[in-house]
Structure 1
Amino acid sequence: MAAGSIVVDFPSMGTAFCFSSFESLLRDSASGFLAAVSAAPAPGAADLTNFHRVFSRVLSAYPDPPLEAVWFFSALTFHDSPGDLRSLLQLLSAFTASSPSAAKPLALLAPVISELFHSDKPRRETEALVEAVLSYISICSSRAATVGDAGASADAEKLLPAFGELVKVWSVRHSRDRCPFQVLFPLVGEEVRRELMKEGCSVEYLAGVVVAEAFLLRLCLKVQNATGVPRAELQKELRIWAVSSIPVFQNQQFFGILLNMLMNRPLPVYSLLSADDEILVRDVLYDALILVDYSFINNKAGVDQADSSFFHTFVSRLIITHDAINEARSKGDQGRAISFINAFSTSNVPSYLIKWATRQVGFNQLSKPVANTPQALLKWLVDLEDKGLKVFGDKSSWIKGRLSYDEVKNGYGSRMIHSDAELFFFDKQRGGEVMDAKSSDDEEAVEMETADNAFMAAAQSMKVTANGIRKRKGCENEDSTAVKFVKYKVEDSSANDYFMSAANGMSSGSEVENPQSDDEMEETN
């Protein structure tokens, strides 16, 4: 018998089978499960007794069972009592109580999110279950900040090649001839699904996908439940919730996946929301991802300057800020466009990308962008790409095409590089800064130097100080270990103060403090 082989007895069949590896056991078991379910005379009537027995033994053999084994066993259990999502959540969480990984407990929740999406339960019950999932995610996320080297190495674990077969097992109840990955991951785009399909995809990435889907599902449910609420009031409530939630999760992969969703419009919520509601949610995400600098991104980026994942995150932030500015301009909302420009220009994104390019090309061997605005920085990086520096990877043609389209659409021409700065112009007679839409030909003739000076002056004048806002440098220890499985709740006054100051498009791009830990919230209630 080959090393690493697995012998499995099937007493009811009076035989035993030898599998060359755990991988082959998973593949054959998944194939047998799908065959049994397909041949069953009615839904839920398949005899899965042998599979239960085998995987009970497999799970008992591991102090920390593989994700794929837990997924298969939980699929067997859920098949016997479909619809009992609370029991499924409890089962999945029980298997990770001793896991050193911070990502694995989150990654295991993917079937729960999928079943909630496809569920026909009453809205109130669905919302309660989503809150329970978010509560569990918040506890796992606070734990993620305290794990040591063992947890870090476990988070680098890769999904087995048989992961795709497990996706089929979990999606069979809702497949309807669709791609199994589309069924199991309904709230992410095609690009994210392709990443999940790649051999060697990390458990950490899957965890980020799960958090992003849970976050987006809760946003959609909030919109569905807001019938009759004025649009402006709803948008303010949603962005306060979003800004308060993001630092609770402290998940870079989740943050990057949200950015990816915004780059590949529309958001994958078409089966949950109307087109107008999708625009509302997109605007909320623009506010949450652009106007606030989060310490869990900035602090790690400062340490891991060479980390490619941080580079892609910062490039994505640049692109969505560029898109958000163009959308605001198209609606005639120059104040909102200026708030995005100001937040971006005072963030650490420009300095990070400039330092990255300098390391690639060499110090003093390239000129810096004329300004720290999104338009100027994006044009600068495109020029570097044309000179041979790999910046955007396989998105290069797409980025250049979008930039060219914006150039023609907005009439920037050869002056596109400083179009952001031209949102500001200087009133020489009054000697003050004036904000203007600049639509006439005479106004567009203002020279670059004057516009740049006015941009910097106006950006400085727009900085505000609000109660509850503080710089990350002065923060105390933000991480806390949750000791109770309490209901997920976000009521962060600092986020409310922040958006009160930003309501008129006058955001300074300042950072908001992280919301309270679960323990702190329970003490204050």
Structure 2
Amino acid sequence: MAAGPLVVDFPSMGAALCFNSLESLLRDSASGFLAAVSAAPAPGAADLTNFHRVFSRVLSGYPDPPLEAIWFFSALSFHDSPGDLRSLLQLLSAFTASSPGAAKPLALLAPVISELFHSDKTRRETEALVEAVLSYISICSSRPAASADGASADAGRLLPAFGELVKVWSVRHSMDRCPFQVLFPLAGEEARRELMKEGCSVEYLAGVVVAEAFLLRLCLKVQNGTGVPRAELQKELKMWAVSSIPVFQNQHFFGVLLNMLLNSPLPVYSLLSADDEILVRDAIYDALILVDYSFINNVSGVDQADLLPIYLSRLIITLDAVNDARRKGDQGRAMSFVNAFSISNVPNYLIKWATCKAVFGAVSKPIANTPQALLKWLVDLEDKGLKVFGDNSSWIKGRLIYDEVKNGFGNRMIHSGADLFFIDKQSGEEVMDTTKGSEDEDAVEMETTGNAFMAAAQSMKVETNGIRKRKGCGNEDAAAVKFVKYKVEDSSVKDYFLSANNGMSSGSEVENPQSDDEMEESD
């Protein structure tokens, strides 16, 4: 971003004004925009001509314009033609043609996802737009994440004025609710708290946007599944999720999905019924637990310590999923989760990390690679002084001790006839494991530590230090606008609206994406 003062002309004022920086220009312009919109006699009637002229000149001075400046200019254009999401998507994609990485083009899509959520368009129109967004996401995701010297191509952070830009984009839908809740309706509270922190990374914002688009597509699939048997619909959701995640190959997106599961229910209750939310949650459990994705395990140019939250979250949601399956009486599904976890990269990573970080002498390995055994091992190490769970440490220890006293502790691996679906880390091929074994009648003993984490997953709290508090930004998810229900239509939306000359295919490249390994071979 350009440094130093900015001099811009305001023709109607007959003068040129000097701003200390782009930050000050954005703050003053956002304030003026909100005042003009509030004073307008009718929606869309505000005179924004001066802002158009100023930001046209500002953007022309950057070979790769800052995200915040693009957002403000696009908000001006969208205010003139509200509802034209096709043009908005084309405008945002045009501004990022010269961006070296994927994060900024993806992050810029946040207003598009928000407008899709709040839109009263027919389901067919909404699906067409969501397909277009996912196609664009898949194209952007193929861009290199790092430059030749190993530095991230999207290492930037959002300006402090980012919160003012959020207000600009949310004002059309509500002036009373938290702007972050309006602009990021499917992100969940934890993700919004992270976005409200001053200096949040562009890469994290990109991950949130991809997660919202991913979740919105799953919701639309469920809405279109009227009359389809539940088991068949869940299988369809799982296969789409499993095939899409490696196409997006975004570490932050993966982490946001994990945190959504940690803070169940998913933030989709304005779109789906409680039963349908469970269906989507189960499909995401399958996609995140039963598959070991190479883009998470083999991250080049990234400090391996940065992956610790992801691996701890995978441990937690596995225990959550195991308990959830057992409560439903599905022991086969529960054991599928346990076995998939045990052969995944998660135990090896956590064992290696803890062994390297421990400074109190030799560390023995856990007695098994099951989630229960690994949890107990990590808690024991924390008792000896290793910081593992951060602010949640005391609570997790208390629950674990309570459950051990109440139920005892089991570490046995229990095999079942359930099929296991995972990505073989050596060959990279999809494998179906149909190993048969007896269903132990005492399987309930394995719930011990899982019970502790089931409760822990529901109450994990996020550190709020460094968060800039916004007025009215509480938990407002219950007030989210609901999709209008329309009759399911079977006609294809594949050929709708975006031409190839804008860099976007007419169909979704995510509907039948490349496999994880095909992505790696194509790199």
TM range (shorter): 0.7 to 0.9
Q: Which amino acid aligns with 1:46?
A: A
Which of structures 1 and 2 has the larger relative contact order (alpha carbons within 8 angstroms, sep 6+)?
2
Whether the 8 Å contact between 2:207 and 2:253 is mirrored in structure 1 is: yes
SS in 2 for 1:7: strand
Q: Shift in Å at residue 267 of structure 1?
A: 0.5
1:385/1:391 contact within 8 Å kept: yes
Provide the residue aligned with 2:483 in structure 1.
none
How big is the shift at 1:153?
3.5
- Aligned letter for 1:83? G
- TM-superposed deviation, 1:397: 3.9
- Given that 2:147 and 2:153 are in contact with CA atoms closer than 8 Å, whether structure 1 keeps it comes out as no
Match of 2:219 in 1: 220
In structure 1, the residue matched to 2:438 is 434
- In the aligned structure 2, how far is the partner of 1:394 from the partner of 1:58? 44
Specify whether residues 316 and 69 from structure 1 end up closer, same or farther in structure 2 by C-alpha distance, changes over 3 A only. Answer: same
Offset of 1:436 from its aligned partner? 2.5
Within 2, Cα distance between the matches of 1:440 and 1:36?
63
- CA 1:207 to 1:401, structure 2 compared with 1: closer, same or farther past 3 Å? farther
Give the Cα–Cα distance (whole angstroms) in 1 for the partners of residues 505 and 345 of structure 2.
35
Aligned AA for 2:186?
A: L
Deviation at 1:14, TM superposition (A): 1.9
Paired residue secondary structure (1:342) = helix
Q: What corresponds to 1:252 in structure 2? A: 251
Secondary structure of residue in 1 paired with 2:326: helix
Which residue in the other structure is 1:319 paired with?
316
Q: Distance in 2 between matches of 1:310 and 1:15?
A: 52
**Is residue 395 of structure 1 aligned with residue 399 of structure 2?**
no
CA deviation profile, 1:275-306 (whole Å, cap 9, x unmatched): 111111110000000000111111128x75x5
1:50-71, CA deviations, whole angstroms, 9 ceiling, x for partnerless residues? 1000000000000000000000
C-alpha distance in structure 2 between counterparts of 1:25 and 1:172, whole Å: 19
Q: What is the alpha-carbon distance in structure 1 between the residues aligned to residue 104 and residue 357 of structure 2?
A: 35
What displacement does 1:11 show? 1.1
Q: 1:421: which partner in 2? A: 413
In the TM superposition, residue 386 of structure 1 has moved relative to its aligned partner by 2.4
2:21 is aligned with 1:21: yes
Residue 366 (structure 2) pairs with residue 369 (structure 1): yes
CA drift of 1:151 comes to 9.0
Pair 43,289 (structure 1): closer, same or farther in 2 beyond 3 Å: same
Partner of 1:174: 173
1:217 and 1:362 map into 2 onto residues whose CA distance is 45
Distance (whole Å) between structure 2 residues aligned to residue 117 and residue 440 of structure 1: 41
Structure 1, unmatched stretches of 5+, are 425-431, 445-481, 495-511, 520-525
Letter of the 1:4 counterpart: G
Structure 1's 402 and 52: CA in aligned 2 closer, same or farther, altered over 3 A?
farther
Separation in 1, partners of 2:113, 2:372: 37
Shift of 1:399: 3.5
Q: Which residue identity is paired with 1:200?
A: G
How does 1:12-411 map onto structure 2 within 5 Å? Answer: 12-144=12-144, 148-149=147-148, 152-300=151-299, 304=302, 306-362=303-359, 365-400=362-397, 403=400, 411=406
| 2-structure distance, mates of 1:367, 1:199 | 41
**Are the equivalent residues in 1 in contact too, given 2:138–2:510 (CA < 8 A)?**
no
8 Å CA contact 2:325, 2:333 repeated in 1: yes
Q: Which amino acid aligns with 1:193?
A: R
Matched ranges for 1:502-513 at <5 A: 513=516
Post-superposition shift, 1:121? 0.3
CA contact (8 A) 2:135 2:504 kept: no
TM-score (norm 1): 0.80
Q: What's the secondary structure of 1:366's corresponding residue?
A: coil
Letter in 1 for 2:97: A
1:150 offset after TM fit, Å? 7.7
Report how far residue 144 of structure 1 moved.
3.1
State the shift of 1:308 in Å.
2.9
CA distance in 2, matches of 1:210, 1:405: 39
Shift of 1:6: 1.5
TM-score normalised per structure 2: 0.80
Preserved CA contact (<8 Å) 1:244 1:515: no
Query: 2-side partners of 1:27 and 1:358: how far apart?
Result: 48
> Structure 1 residues 490 and 71 mapped into 2: Cα distance closer, same or farther (>3 Å)?
closer
Quick check: 1:5 aligned with 2:5?
yes
Separation of aligned partners in 2, 1:174 and 1:151: 42
Q: SS at 2:36's partner residue? A: helix
Conserved 8 A contact 1:256-1:313: yes
3-state SS of paired residue (2:143): helix
Give 2:129's aligned amino acid: L
Question: In proportion to residue count, which structure has more helix?
Answer: 1
CA contact (8 A) 1:248 1:514 kept: no
* 1:307 CA displacement: 2.7
Contact 2:135–2:510 (CA<8 Å) still a contact in 1?
no
Q: Cα–Cα, structure 1 residues 516 and 385, in superposed 2: closer, same or farther, change >3 Å?
A: closer
Contact kept? 2:415, 2:437, Cα under 8 Å: no
SS in structure 2 opposite 1:266? coil
One-letter amino acid of the structure 2 residue matched with residue 296 of structure 1: F
Alpha-carbon distance between aligned partners in 2 of 1:440 and 1:62, rounded to the nearest angstrom? 62
- Preserved contact between residue 290 and residue 344 of structure 1 (Cα < 8 Å): yes
Match of 2:507 among 473, 487, 490: 487
Task: Mark the CA change 1:228 to 1:386 in structure 2 (over 3 Å): closer, same or farther.
Answer: same
Worse overlay, 187-196 or 379-388: 379-388
Preserved contact between residue 101 and residue 143 of structure 2 (Cα < 8 Å)? no
Residues 92 and 109 of structure 1 are in contact (CA less than 8 Å); yes or no, is this contact kept in structure 2? Answer: yes
Q: How big is the alpha-carbon RMSD for the aligned residues of Structure 1 and Structure 2? A: 2.6
Q: Residues 18-69 of structure 1, C-alpha deviation per residue, up to 9 Å, x if partnerless?
A: 2111110000000000011011111001110110000000000000000000
Verify the 8 A CA contact 2:33 2:168 in the aligned structure 1.
yes
How many positions carry a matched residue from both structures?
A: 446
How far apart, CA to CA, are the structure 2 residues paired with 1:52 and 1:10? 10
CA distance in 2, matches of 1:166, 1:484: 26
Question: Would you say the 8 A contact 1:100–1:150 is kept in 2?
Answer: no
Amino acid at match of 1:359: C
8 Å Cα contact 1:211/1:254 also seen in 2: yes
CA distance in 2, matches of 1:15, 1:38: 25
For 1:110 and 1:150, locate their aligned partners in 2 and report how far apart those are by CA, in whole Å.
30
The 1:354–1:203 alpha-carbon spacing in structure 2 relative to 1, beyond 3 Å, is: same
- Equivalent residue for 1:447? none
Indicate which of 393, 399, 407 corresponds to 1:412. Answer: 407
- Mark the CA change 1:359 to 1:271 in structure 2 (over 3 Å): closer, same or farther: same
User: What do residues 405-440 of structure 1 show as CA deviations (whole Å, max 9, x unaligned)?
Assistant: 7657xx523x25x2x53678xxxxxxx952224279
How many Å separate the matches in 2 of 1:346 and 1:326?
19
**1:99-155 per-position Cα deviation (integer Å, ceiling 9, x unaligned):** 11221000000000000000010000000000000000000011236x634894331
Aligned to 1:474: none
1:501 maps to which residue? none
* Closer, same or farther: CA 287–241 of 1 in aligned 2, 3 Å: same
**TM-fit CA distance, 1:89:** 0.2
- Once residues 125 and 380 of structure 2 are traced to their aligned partners in structure 1, the CA distance between those partners, rounded to angstroms, is 53
Secondary structure, counterpart of 1:148 in structure 2: coil
